[in-house]
Structure 1
Amino acid sequence: MTTYLVTGASGQLGRLTVHALLERGITPSDVVATARDTDTVADLAELGVVVRRADYTDPTSLKEAFTGVDRALLVSSSAVGERVAQHANVIEAAKEAGVELLGYTSVTHADTSEMVLAQEHRQTEELLAASGLATVLLRNSWYIENYTGQVATALEHGVVLGAAGEGRVSAATRTDFAAAAAAALVAEDQAGRVYELGGDTAFTLAEYAATLSAESGTEVAYRDLSADELTSSLVGVGLPEPYAALLADSDLGIARGELLTDSGDLARLIGRPTTTPREAIRAALA
């Protein structure tokens, strides 16, 4: 019997990964879902999943959560600027527990990317390499929901804003990335593997806007801005300035090809073609 743990199970990717493990036939009682507040994963407990409290900033909670765990997925923290210290706590807990495989949700080309977002992922990968643990790196490209989640706004204003130029992005759905994480956790011979994960159909933001136009029947254009202009626009709609700047910087990464991959790793891991941008847009419109 193998026990699997997923951190951050109250978040979208973590929750989907738990469901992906169950869909692969893992017995619910062999899956541990962790969250800072266990009430937020009560629905998983109702399915028979073991629910444990784990706070990335609380080493004691992590030690208790990892007890008896064989394989685990560290879903990267959303606390930009604090991730490395938080991830170090998780890695130490996994090491103490004798976890046989630890997966980590990183970002595409983390070892070479110039994006600000990649820095903490790269540092975490270095911590994992130094830990002595058997690890598998799941370097995810952009979530396509970063775009489809803004469909209503794009249709209202008739524009998609960005600073990515003609750069292509290998975005995929969270469901596809979660399925890949589950596949890597349950597969054999994963230690040391590095997956560059992205959708089969890469696209520019202009192509995304054109597909949205075609599927919605409403004309939507892509407007390319400078990083500073995009940051100001995002702040203008209520985003905190540091987060807005991070998104603009990530668009510059897209322009440099840092969220693009043609590895085919995602489709191979999940055993099917990835969700296309058109399919994701249709789902968002529905």
Structure 2
Amino acid sequence: MPIVVTGATGQLGRLTVEALLQRGIPAADIIATGRDTTRIKDLADRGITVRRADFADTDGLAEAFAGADRLLLISASVPVGERVANHRRVIDAAVVAGVSLVAYTSTTHADTATTVIGATHRETEEYLRDRGTPSVLLRNGWYLENYTSQLPQILRNGAVVGAAGDGRISAASRADYAEAAAVVLSAEGHAGAVYELGGDESFTLAELAAAISAATGEQIAYTDLPVTDFAQVLATAGLPAELAEVLADADRGMNRGEMHTDSGNLHHLIGRPPMTLTEALTAALHH
């Protein structure tokens, strides 16, 4: 049952490969792909098949997926404007390869989300359905690492800055999302499923600030800005203008509840409680 993992050069992809191995999938049955295969040479050294796959290269994708039975399509990163076209090429190549199941990392409530990111995921989900390939939608919520990676800056500034208002966020760790992906790729009975994935405990950005205060002993506040002002703050911090606008727009979606789920799907899939915000903060601070 050869399983292809796209984006294995990225963090979520690599963690999924590791999770597949931990679930007993033989290395010989895993095909790890990415644009720069030198970054995953160590996986080849462990007996995993490593192939180059560039989402913009149709012919190369067909070669990368040859012989595969199942495929994990990890959504492409920016530029957002090219995302859907890239995803369609991957799905088309999977169909040509005769893949029996495509698992796609989408976003929470992709069918109703109003964000720019949500729209790209919705279009990809619709294309998957149109192609008729058996699929499972892994609607991943926000990453806890999106916040823990910002801890040095948050502590320097004494504030969490955002535009999410009182919106609740169901975040989880990349490792937990990767484990869920490994479960659906390596077991039967998931075709056609739509999983809304997130942590068991949701939080607002004000609660995030309070949790950081409790974990560090520093007084951290939450500064809520209008979306356009938050985009400007991100751009001033050095992010490209398009990415700054997309991330600020994501906060707008959070304010509308688009990053909140109480489905319990992640807990159910991985068979244990996902990592909590407090656990993530503790781990990051003692890293």
Tell me how far 1:117 sits from its aligned partner: 0.8
How much has 1:45 moved relative to structure 2? 1.3
Task: Name the amino acid aligned to 1:248.
Answer: A
The one-letter code matched in structure 1 to 2:238 is: G
What is the RMSD computed on CA atoms of the aligned residues? 0.7
- Name the aligned partner's letter for residue 23 of structure 1: Q
2:8 partner amino acid? A
Name the residue aligned to 2:153. 153
Give the distance between the partners of 2:46 and 2:168, measured in 1 at CA: 39
Structure 2 matches for 1:1-286, cutoff 5 A?
A: 2-79=1-78, 80-286=80-286
Provide runs of 4+ in structure 1 moved above 2 Å: none
3-state SS, counterpart of residue 214 of structure 1: helix
Calculate the TM-score normalised by the size of structure 2.
Answer: 0.98
Unaligned runs of 5+ in 2: none
Query: Over residues 245-275 of structure 1, what are the superposed CA-to-partner deviations in whole Å (9 max), with x where a residue is unaligned?
Result: 1111111111100000000000100111000
SS at structure 1 position matched to 2:273: coil
2-side partners of 1:50 and 1:214: how far apart?
Answer: 45
> 2: distance between equivalents of 1:111 and 1:43?
38
Give structure 1 stretches of 5+ with no counterpart: none
Q: What is the CA deviation profile of residues 68-121 of structure 1, one whole-angstrom value per residue up to 9, with x for unaligned ones?
A: 100110001113110111111111111011101110000000000101111111
Structure 1, residues 17-43: CA drift from partner, whole Å, max 9, x if none?
Answer: 111100101111110000111101112
2-structure distance, mates of 1:139, 1:236: 31
Query: Normalization by structure 1: what TM-score?
Result: 0.98
In structure 2, the residue corresponding to 1:104 is in which secondary structure?
A: strand
Q: Classify the secondary structure of the residue corresponding to 1:213.
A: helix
Deviation of the 1:149 alpha carbon? 0.5
Alignment partner of 2:203: what SS?
coil
C-alpha displacement at 1:156, in angstroms? 0.9
- Provide the C-alpha distance between the structure 2 equivalents of 1:124 and 1:56, rounded to a whole number of angstroms: 14
Other structure's SS at 1:129 match: helix
Q: Distance in 2 between matches of 1:148 and 1:77?
A: 22
Q: Per the alignment, in what secondary structure is the counterpart of residue 33 of structure 2?
A: strand
TM-superposed CA distance for 1:132, in Å, is 1.4
Count residues in correspondence.
285
Task: State the alpha-carbon separation in 2 of the partners of residues 44 and 220 from structure 1.
Answer: 41
Which amino acid is the alignment partner of residue 221 of structure 1?
A
